[in-house]
Amino acid sequence: MSARYIVTGGAGFIGCNIARALNDRGCDDVLVVDHLGDSEKWKNLEAIRYEDYIDKVDFREMIRSGSVPKVEAVIHMGACSSTTETDADYLADNNYRYTRDLCEWCIERGIRFVYASSAATYGDGALGYSDNDKATPTLRPLNMYGYSKHMFDLWALKKGALKDIVGLKYFNVYGPFESHKGDMRSVVHKSYGQISETGKVRLFKSYKDEYADGAQVRDFIYVKDAVDVTLFFADHPEVSGLYNCGTGEARTWIDLVRSVFNAMNIEPAIEFIEMPEHLKSKYQYFTEAEMRKLRAAGYHKEFTSLEAGVSDYVRNHLAAGR
């Protein structure tokens, strides 16, 4: 077994897009690590070229036995990304301990390690969205998924690993190859399906006076931009640390949904519905990445606008049945 890159979660949403971007560079020397189970995620493998595939359980055993081939970089996207997962022991092992094992393996061998953290570590945003190291220990995630990501960020900061590795706090990523994610799909994907079936989109009502219904805001980033940021750090081992991966521009859910309607050439029709009780105390009304640290690291490309990203996704992927 030989490869230039290892992409964990390589059959998943962001991981598949990373593998495709490597293919576009002419690189097929990719070891894909994932767990396919009984989901439709296997279909994403058809969209990429790779050297080999291995299940994450077998890969973890290879790490522990030291039998993984040395590669140029490990891009670790593999994790349970469900914000509603309640098995805390599973999340702690899968999202924290597994990441730690792989990180230590990479550092010992001088292999570039880029991993997925999450904007969920910021909790309700009351403490801001700064990716500065001084801010990291103060954060209070709202759910166990966010905390499992925060656990590793804290470990990497405490152990000084962040001087050698890169963690990316992905904000609201949307784009191709997410259909297997079920309820964790982006609202772009969900809206396209709702409009196709009913001609309208349902959004949660607001329960804060300062936000009108649908005026809750998020930092939406097209997956192609998220991949570009990720590979920037894979290509620049001289730059390390924990960074936000968003656009720095918060937009409303209404903006997002209208972009979907416009891409489908359909007049917007939005219905506001009650939010489930279990979500009300954990709902984020505002997210927006601070971008100064990323820009200071040397990433200067402009991000795709919400309207352009949604249009490309809907017209060239969803409507095309890709």
**256 with 195: CB under 8 angstroms?**
no
Question: Can you identify the CATH homologous superfamily of domain 179-218+250-286+308-318?
Answer: UDP-galactose 4-epimerase, domain 1 (3.90.25.10)
Q: What is the pLDDT of residue 186?
A: 97
Tens digit of pLDDT for each residue in 92-136? Answer: 999 999 999 999 999 999 999 999 999 999 999 999 999 999 999
Strand pairing category for 112-118 and 270-273: unpaired
Comparing CA positions, the residue from 154, 150, 130 lying closest to residue 140 is 150
Secondary structure letter of residue 138 according to DSSP: G
Quote the CA–CA distance of 92 and 106 in Å, as a whole number.
20
Tell me whether residue 247 is exposed, middle or buried, using C-beta atoms within 10 angstroms of its C-beta: 0 to 12, 13 to 18, 19 or more: buried
Catalytic residue among 122, 129, 145, 192: 145
CA 309/CA 225 separation, integer angstroms: 9
The predicted structure's pLDDT at residue 278: 86
Beta bridge mates, 244: 169
Q: 35, 9, 13, 8: which is closest to 177 by C-alpha?
A: 13
313 annotated active-site: no
Q: Which of 43, 56, 181, 200 is catalytic?
A: 181
Closest alpha carbon to 291 in 283, 300, 282: 300
Q: Is 145 a catalytic residue?
A: yes
**What pLDDT shows up at residue 281?**
84
User: Residue 79: which of 188, 156, 170 has the closest Cα?
Assistant: 170
The model carries a pTM of: 0.96
Query: Length of the chain in residues, anyone?
Result: 322
Q: Where in the chain is the domain with CATH 3.40.50.720?
A: 5-173+221-247+289-303
| Tens digit of each residue's pLDDT (9 = 90 or more) over 226-277 | 999 999 999 999 999 999 999 999 999 999 999 999 999 999 999 999 999 9
**pLDDT digits 0-9 by tens, 157-207:** 999 999 999 999 999 999 999 999 999 999 999 999 999 999 999 999 999
Where exactly does CATH 3.90.25.10 map onto the chain? 179-218+250-286+308-318
CA 38 distance to own-chain centroid: 22
Q: Which pLDDT tens digit goes with each residue over 103-113?
A: 999 999 999 99
Say if domain 5-173+221-247+289-303 classifies as CATH 3.30.70.980: no
